[in-house]
Structure 1
Amino acid sequence: MTSITPARPSLTSNDSAVLQALFDAESSPSAGIVIDTSLPSWPSSVTISETDLSSLKQRESEIIRKLQAKESPNQETVISSLEDFDELISQNETYPSAYINRAQTLRLLVDLIYNKETETTESPNTELADGALFSPKTSQLCSRIFSDLGQAITLATPTSPADAVSSAQARLLADAHTHRGYLLLKAARVKKACSGGDDAGPERLRSLTADQLEEMASQDFFFGGRYGNKVAQQLSVQTNPYAKMCGAIVKEALRKEVEGSMK
């Protein structure tokens, strides 16, 4: 009599790769990125000569130094720096770095306004408060932050995912995607915490659910990690909806197994 041995369930190589990527942040999506130090700082869509680029970097550094001159810059200094970035960008609309630095400066202003509104004594250099993102008084500023981060990403992203990138490109894309992912995650948490946030915050986010915002954050964290940000790699795994779903299934299976062994 022929005995039949039940076949063991097996994973295809593709299934194994997917599960590895879902649960292991060290499977680093940045492995697919080629950084070529011989490339120009920015792709061909950025129409700035190397001579002009040197001048832009100098002007940009001067604005940043003004912000860093004091441990906690006041609102007047931040607004003045924003005006300088506005002028810089109006004269060089394809310079990606100016957009991400203006977004950071807008973050400082949001903190200052929110801290003043809530009469807190926290430094504006601390993490952006969850409530600030959805405060009616800072909605327009937050919209500008998202716009600037989006423009920086658009200008710096290579035409094809297979294209090599410069060190400057990789660094900016890692920072911009991670920054935007962080703000989207904050927005998702505010949505979950209070049901009355639909009429506040950046207009483009108001109609989205907390889950949708978190999925968008996860995508940004994926790209932030892909371009080399280690924190983004970890957050990409934690916020990945498929990883969370699989994790919940595994936890439930383990719970049932434990309960079964106790009977």
Structure 2
Amino acid sequence: MNYKTDFPSIKGEVSPEEWQARLDLAACYRLIDKYAMTDLIYNHITTRIPGSPDHLLINLYGLLYKEITASSLVKIHVDGEIIWKPQTDYDINKSGYVIHGAIHRARPEVACVLHTHTRAGMAVSAMTCGLLPLSQTAIRFVGHIGYHDYEGPAIDLAERERLVNDLGPHDAMIMRNHGLLTCGATVQQAFNTMYQLELSCRSQVDAMAARTELTMPGENVLAHTAHLYQPGARRPYGVLEWPAMLRLLDAEQRNSDYPPYYY
């Protein structure tokens, strides 16, 4: 069986636009690993290929996020058909395009979809109260987050319509008894939203574990603050942070045995 993890660069075989999408997505996978939001080899991050709106990039099912490179990403149709993948026996996970494909198809303005199973995210997903506005970070999601009830492992195509309806116009969703999902107009935006959502969940779990009385701002403050933190309200979301995130990856690569994300 061919389960190698070192793949030759395909930079010269794809368009500059596709290569940039591959670089951004591979970096996003590495950052999710860096900030401890991975679940072994599971979950997915997908992005559209500019100029080919029905074509997505997704990870091989079997690689760690820290092993993913620009050249190891699989090109698929939004309905799940594999268009290109590296020479390997690794394949893709059906759940990846059931969840992600549904959102990409229904929301043409969405370029990237990110899904996680983190400890804090799963904890909050099991709470009847959902995400509480306990911090400035969490207040960003007031009125801007959806909830989807658990229906079992996401392999049923009939669940697609309900997923999309529950997400609505939002860029974040808590999947009950399951995990977290974010999306955005760019990879950078989807990552930044997930980072903020994960941090909100971790803070909530910590605050509730302290077993003390909690305080929350008034409704007028919540609405005003949430508005100010929406993408475009003050500046593009996630863009300013991205070069610093790439510098972080580059610095850590010097002491890593894994191939750089940009291969």
TM-score (norm: length of structure 1): 0.28
Higher helix fraction: Structure 1 or Structure 2? 1
TM-score (norm: length of structure 2): 0.28
| Rg (Cα) greater in structure | 1
Higher strand fraction: Structure 1 or Structure 2? 2
